[in-house]
Structure 1
Amino acid sequence: MSTATAPAESTPRTYPSYAHALWRRVLLTREFAVIALLLVVFFYSRGNVPNFDGPLTLYYLFLDIAPILLIALPMTLVIVTGEIDLSVASVMGLSSALLGTLHADAGWSMPMAALAAILAGVLCGAVNGFLVAYVGLPSLAVTIGTLALYRGLAEGLLGTKAITDFPDKWRDWPSNRIFGDGTSYPMILVPFLVLLVLFVWLLHFSTFGRGVYEIGLNDEAAHFTGVNVERTKLLLFVMSGAVSAFAGLYFTLRYGSARGDNASGLELQVIAAVLLGGVSIFGGRGALHGVVAGVVLIGVISSAMRLEGYTVNKINIVIGTLLVLSVMATPAIAWVQRVWARRRLS
């Protein structure tokens, strides 16, 4: 055992490079570049896009990106481990269908129906996590399968009908403002900020988070250093399922409609935002402040282009191009650094 653990302990960590000064580790990072780009795009839009600086722009921007912000939190941890969860939007649809069915058809109270929907999300995440962590199946294949399975269950519960019979106080809750009328901050930001603090602590300030990075760098080495790889992956998929179910409840109440096809395709937007925020698709690298900035950046670009009259296709082209460039940036910067290092040595 000692011979197996020695190489893992002597191998220097590559996230982040602690050999550099603190200011360099903070400022000269991809995450800070995304934040800087967000500020540039935001202030440019305020000065040049008609009505972007209106009182309702930020309000509806937050309402639109809220489900992506929520799901991006656990998705970041999942991708840092080198895995992926493509079933998150289907879990949203299933929780939406369960909320409508249990409340309108079975007569359950809204709190009990919402709790059951979140527990269903926990179960969906546990199925994904068990198949990935303990059976050893690739997460891409597993979650593609459960994407279809959970969506099929959601559409099987409701078929083609939509349930809109929800109490007004529940239906209005997501769109209520935190500080009253005239402010730009909807109530959904409160649970998001609570979850953000929790996930920031988990990933960046706890031994659990260090284990997440270790798994992403090398799961076998992480096992030898004492990380329970299987349990960590299971917990991450459970978190992903629970938060996705909560996002499904928000989606249902905001639009006042429970449908089996709610949030179709949203998983691609979540993954795009996470990768744009600096998380490596190969695992081992990423930070939540970059992910949050990436989500807001996509929301600002979409909002500004809609106000300018651009179609959805053109908006998708711009965001897709930005994502490709951001993914290409990391290996390009690494290549430049290697070339520069060789020239300095020569």
Structure 2
Amino acid sequence: MKKLRAFIPELVAVGLLIVAFIVSAAREPRFLDVAYLFDRSTLYTETALLAIALTLVIVAGHIDLSCTAILALVGAIVTTLNSKGLPFGLCAALAPVLGGLLGAVNGWLVAKRRLPSLVVTLGTMALFRGGAQILLGDHSLPVPEAFQHFEKLAIPRTYFHAPLFLTLGFAIAAGLLLHKTVFGRYVNAVGTNAEAARYSGVPVPGVLMKLFVLSGAVAGIAALTMLSRLGVARFDHARGLELDAITAVVLGGTSIFGGRGTIFGSLAALLLIGVVQTGMGVAGVKAENQVTAIGILLLVAVLLANLTARKKR
């Protein structure tokens, strides 16, 4: 019972997911179309990848608001290099490296200069997004047709698409990293009490630097999946997607104060968000009202986290 109590936030997310699925299915029978649901799930690949990386960052007691801007800038750089004659395969291979370098800028400012991650990543979000707009302007650059439609790759006669395997692979790797390695224990220690962790011999700056580099590299990979799915690069790609990712992480039980969180909880909450948005979409709810619903979910998640932290204290 004590072990089960430790996973109450994740269980709440799963419970809400079940309720949302039942309500959506009852209101709109088309919601039960399995092919439609699996096809719709490919739209959340980038959000899932960002949420997985953000889980690690938030467990460490920090935030990365620039992840979607990194995604847009990496996409802009990749397609620009390709338009100058560089093979797209080579450009694609550079994407996670470019993302990691941009993440290192955040890491250096947060870890080495000890600046607040909220302020740093808010600033770099504008900087990186502006860089993408400088490269592309209001125009779009196409991706070679051979590299498009990654989301259509699937196991024959099944509904399992390539993005699902990519997401699950990253989730398993991140889960093992967070819960089964020394580095994962360092991340939890930093999020619980950075000063105590420092006095205990934990290399706090190094841990933070690695987390922000990882977040940037994952955003670079997410840039490739979005380029493949949409077929073009634009400076406003993924704008606002950080809201969905952060909501999934916090709603999935990761403490916004750091020191606690699971990859499973983040994915369960992301599924909840996906079911809510898909259900509202099938029911004809306008996009702006869907955004409002996600904002309400985020506020509820933060309030619950705050109340839980107070109760524990």
TM-score, structure 2 as length reference: 0.94
Equivalent positions of 1:1-346 (< 5 A) are 21-26=2-7, 29-103=8-82, 105-168=83-146, 170-177=147-154, 179-181=155-157, 183-333=158-308
Q: Deviations over 1:96-140 (max 9, x none)?
A: 11221122x222222201122221101001111011001111111
Amino acid in the other structure paired with 1:172: H
Query: Looking at CA atoms only, which structure, 1 or 2, has the larger radius of gyration?
Result: 1
Bigger Cα displacement from structure 2, 265-274 vs 86-95: 265-274
CA distance in 1, matches of 2:170, 2:295: 28
Bigger Cα displacement from structure 2, 88-97 vs 310-319: 310-319
Amino acid in the other structure paired with 2:125: L
**Which residue does the alignment assign to 1:9?**
none
The 1:101–1:333 alpha-carbon spacing in structure 2 relative to 1, beyond 3 Å, is closer
CA distance in 2, matches of 1:148, 1:100: 20
Shift of 1:261: 1.7
Q: Deviations over 1:245-293 (max 9, x none)?
A: 1111111110111112211121122111111111111111111111101
CA contact (8 A) 2:51 2:245 kept: yes
Amino acid in the other structure paired with 1:304: G
CA distance in 2, matches of 1:221, 1:24: 26
Partner secondary structure for residue 305 of structure 1: helix
Shift of 1:25: 3.2
Q: Deviations over 1:144-171 (max 9, x none)?
A: 1111111111111111211124123x10
TM-score, structure 1 as length reference: 0.86
Bigger Cα displacement from structure 2, 274-283 vs 316-325: 316-325
**Which residue does the alignment assign to 1:14?**
none
Larger helix fraction of residues: 2
Amino acid in the other structure paired with 2:94: A
Shift of 1:334: 6.0
Amino acid in the other structure paired with 1:114: A
Equivalent pairs, count: 313
The 1:130–1:312 alpha-carbon spacing in structure 2 relative to 1, beyond 3 Å, is same
Q: Deviations over 1:61-91 (max 9, x none)?
A: 3111111100111101111111111110111
CA contact (8 A) 1:132 1:142 kept: yes
Amino acid in the other structure paired with 1:173: F
Q: Which residues of structure 2 form unaligned runs of 5+?
A: none
CA distance in 2, matches of 1:250, 1:133: 29
Q: Which residues of structure 1 form unaligned runs of 5+?
A: 1-19, 339-346
Q: Deviations over 1:298-331 (max 9, x none)?
A: 0110000110111122222222222222222234
CA distance in 2, matches of 1:132, 1:238: 12
Amino acid in the other structure paired with 2:173: L
